[in-house]
Amino acid sequence: MLITGASQGIGAALARTFAAEVKGVRLALVARNARNLRAVAAACARLGAEAAAFPCDTSDEAAVAKAARAVARRGGAVDVLINNAGAFTQAKFVDTSVAEFDRMVAVNLRSAFLVTRAFLPAMLARRSGDVFFMSSIAGLGAYPNAAAYCAAKFGVTGLAQVLRAETKEAGVRVCCVHPGATWTPSWSGSGVAEERLMPAEDVARAFLDVWRLGRRTVVEEIVLRPQRGDL
CATH number reported for the structural domain that contains residue 47 in this entry: 3.40.50.720
Active site positions, annotated? 149
* Residue 16, in any domain of the structure: yes
* Residue 229, in any domain of the structure: no
* Residue 231, in any domain of the structure: no
Per-residue model confidence (pLDDT) at position 41:
98
Per-residue model confidence (pLDDT) at position 214:
97
Range of 78's domain?
Answer: 2-224
Per-residue model confidence (pLDDT) at position 230:
65
Report how far residue 1's alpha carbon sits from residue 130's, in angstroms, rounded to the nearest whole number: 9
pLDDT digits over 82-119, tens only?
A: 999 999 988 999 999 999 999 999 999 999 999 999 99
In total, the chain counts a number of residues equal to: 231
Query: What is the number of structural domains in the chain?
Result: 1
* Residue 165, in any domain of the structure: yes
* Residue 168, in any domain of the structure: yes
* Residue 37, in any domain of the structure: yes
Per-residue model confidence (pLDDT) at position 229:
67
DSSP character string of the chain: -EEESTTSHHHHHHHHHHHHHSTT-EEEEEES-HHHHHHHHHHHHHTT-EEEEEE--TT-HHHHHHHHHHHHHHH---SEEEE-------B-GGG--HHHHHHHHIIIIIHHHHHHHHHHHHHHHHT-EEEEEE--GGGTS--TTBHHHHHHHHHHHHHHHHHHHHHTTTTEEEEEEEE-SEE-GGGTTSS--GGGSEEHHHHHHHHHHHHHS-TT----EEEE--TT---
Report how far residue 208's alpha carbon sits from residue 87's, in angstroms, rounded to the nearest whole number: 22
Report how far residue 38's alpha carbon sits from residue 13's, in angstroms, rounded to the nearest whole number: 14
Q: Is 99 exposed, middle or buried (0-12, 13-18, 19+ CB in 10 A)?
A: exposed
* Residue 230, in any domain of the structure: no
* Residue 8, in any domain of the structure: yes
Per-residue model confidence (pLDDT) at position 187:
74
Report how far residue 98's alpha carbon sits from residue 221's, in angstroms, rounded to the nearest whole number: 31
Report how far residue 210's alpha carbon sits from residue 221's, in angstroms, rounded to the nearest whole number: 10
Per-residue model confidence (pLDDT) at position 148:
97
Low-confidence ranges of the chain (pLDDT < 50): none
Report how far residue 130's alpha carbon sits from residue 119's, in angstroms, rounded to the nearest whole number: 11
Per-residue model confidence (pLDDT) at position 39:
98
